[in-house]
Amino acid sequence: MKKIIALAITSAALAAFTTVQAQTQPAAAPPNDAQIAQIVLTADSVDVDYGKLAVKKTKNAQVKAFAETMIRDHTSVNKQATALAKKLGMTPEASDTSKSLQSDGDKMIAKLKAMHGAAFDKAYIDNEVAYHESVIGALDKVLLPNAKNAELKNLLEAGRPIFISHLNHAKEIQASLH
């Protein structure tokens, strides 16, 4: 049962990026800079929400420390991204991608809220692994290739090692929990 839940959560997170991009309708227009900025902001704030829930619910010190790092890091990236958008006179713009990120995030929060103890810890960490994998994939395939503004591109490139670090950290904890 637990395995099925874990699989469901993992695939839901992956769907947020990959399915939206690979629809059978004609290829969606690549995001513009304002949409890229909003995707970054949404991706960060969704992970902050996951982290806040984990800090409240977990009894595991490792998971708690990880969740606190997620909150700290993604809040900081959001602050820099917001400041950059303001500096560039850019209003971040919602897109199908950012909207489905948010709605999938909300659904996952609802699922995780209903869980407790070790089951919660595993589900949270499994989701973090899948989530960071899909964000890195989106960065490499969609956001970085389409970013036009040089400073926005720099921000995305500086953000990439953050997601790599988080993914590696999450995988270590995932291995210790299973």
Contact residues for another protein (CB under 8 A)? Answer: 69, 72-73, 76-77, 79-80, 84, 151, 153-155, 157-159, 161-162, 164-165, 168-169
In the complex, least distance from residue 112 CB atom to another protein, rounded to whole angstroms: 23
Of 87, 84, 106, 107, the closest CA to residue 38 belongs to 84
Residue 90 dihedral angles phi and psi, to the nearest 5°: -105, 130
Tokens of 9: 């959560």
CB-nearer residue toward another protein: 10 or 132? 132
Residue among 72 and 99 whose Cβ is closer to another protein: 72
Neighbours of 92 (CB within 10 A): 19
Instruction: Give the separation between CA 61 and CA 42, rounded to whole angstroms.
Output: 27
In the complex, minimum distance from the CB of residue 131 to another protein, in angstroms, rounded to a whole number: 17
Which is closer to another protein, CB of 106 or CB of 157? Answer: 157
